[in-house]
């Protein structure tokens, strides 16, 4: 797989990374360990060198899975993890105090079976802790050799600027896809200005863009989409117009919806690296195929024109989660 560099940081990764969250958290029961290990190792065998995890994904269980999976080729991959939730639990709210950042990092190093974290993100901006203190704590960890690069997730422009002034931010991770284009307004121009890479999570719209979800789909126990307004049945029905437009371009190229959605992201900027997640090897192969789909300027223009006719409905997160994440 081709490589990309995240902004001006010098951090080189595969053009597509692997979001590992869903192996342990968020989409129902955790995948069994053997399957999770095989998926992560299979991704590496297919050229993926960028693996994303977090303390908050099953309170470190996902980090432990990633650490075990990549132990045999640790020096050939980039591991990204995150701090920022109280006790590693999203519903408890935010905690980015410097002492917490240090403690979470030490615990993550043990779970990941490594002596350094390649990319350490603040999972969400904590309004109760000055950004200068957060960036300063990570700067100290970088000076100590325990962290290589600093990242932020779902941060706004003011927070990014404040952090970057203390410790250069290598990458911002936020939701971005044909299903959620909000970053195009202010975030992408700022990242380009500051030389910060962009790592879109949910690049397939939490599965919606694949065309495998419709208004009749039911979500199992533990699948957070069951409480997301955008995934209410009526909203899914309304938003299928977007999937139809993607499907038309996919048919033209003889590829899948997922591959078009990923190719579209990769075509936006050379410093964008999506991190689709999956629990299935055949879906992994499909996603990786998206990195080989070349969309022309005409394709991109046609997609933009078509999307102007589509009005998407439904909030990204339920109110309870928005409140706890300071949104």
Structure tokens at 131: 């950004």
Q: Name the one residue in this structure whose structure tokens are 């390649």.
A: 118
The answer to whether 57 is a known catalytic residue is yes
Decide the pairing of beta strands 3-5 and 12-14. antiparallel
Contact 80, 314 (CB under 8 A): no
Residue 158 CB contacts under 8 Å (≥ 6 apart), including other chains: none
Cα separation, 303 vs 257, whole angstroms = 13
Report the distance separating Cα 184 and Cα 162, nearest Å. Answer: 20
Tell me the H-state helices in the chain: 33-45, 61-70, 98-111, 131-143, 157-166, 187-194, 233-253, 257-268, 281-289, 297-307, 319-324
Q: Which residues contact 323 (CB under 8 A, 6 or more apart)?
A: none
Exactly one of 57, 121, 176, 317 is catalytic; name it. Answer: 57
Q: Can you tell me the distance from the alpha carbon of 67 to that of 75, in angstroms, rounded to the nearest whole number? A: 12
SS3 12: strand
Q: Which residues are part of the catalytic machinery? A: 57
């Amino acid at each position: 797989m081709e490589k990309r560099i995240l902004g001006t940081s010098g951090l080189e990764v595969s053009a597509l990374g692997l979001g590992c969250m869903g192996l342990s958290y968020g989409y129902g029961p955790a995948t069994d360990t053997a399957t999770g290990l095989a998926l992560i190792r299979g991704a590496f065998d297919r050229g993926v060198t960028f693996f994303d995890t977090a303390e908050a994904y099953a309170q470190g269980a996902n980090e432990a899975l990633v650490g075990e999976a990549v132990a045999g080729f640790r020096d050939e991959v980039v591991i990204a993890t995150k701090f920022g939730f109280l006790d590693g639990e999203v519903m408890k709210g935010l905690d980015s105090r410097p002492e917490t950042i240090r403690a979470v990092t030490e615990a993550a190093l043990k779970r990941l079976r490594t002596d350094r974290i390649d990319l350490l993100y603040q999972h969400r901006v904590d309004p109760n802790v000055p950004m200068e203190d957060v960036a300063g704590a990570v700067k100290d960890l970088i000076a100590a050799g325990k962290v290589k690069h600093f990242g932020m997730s779902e941060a706004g422009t003011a927070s990014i600027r404040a952090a970057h002034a203390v410790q250069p931010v290598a990458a911002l991770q936020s939701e971005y896809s044909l299903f959620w284009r909000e970053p195009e307004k202010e975030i992408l121009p700022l990242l380009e200005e500051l030389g910060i890479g962009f790592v879109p999570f949910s690049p397939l719209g939490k599965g919606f863009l694949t065309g495998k979800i419709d208004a009749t789909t039911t979500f199992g126990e533990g699948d957070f989409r069951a409480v997301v307004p955008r995934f209410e049945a009526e909203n899914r029905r309304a938003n299928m117009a977007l999937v139809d437009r993607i499907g038309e371009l996919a048919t033209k190229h003889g590829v899948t919806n997922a591959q078009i959605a990923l190719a579209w992201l990769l075509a936006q900027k050379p410093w964008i690296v999506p991190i689709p997640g999956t629990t299935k090897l055949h879906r992994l192969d499909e996603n990786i195929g998206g990195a080989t789909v070349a969309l022309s300027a005409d394709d991109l223009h046609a997609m933009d024109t078509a999307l102007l006719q589509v009005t998407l409905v439904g909030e990204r997160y339920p109110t309870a989660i928005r409140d706890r994440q300071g949104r």
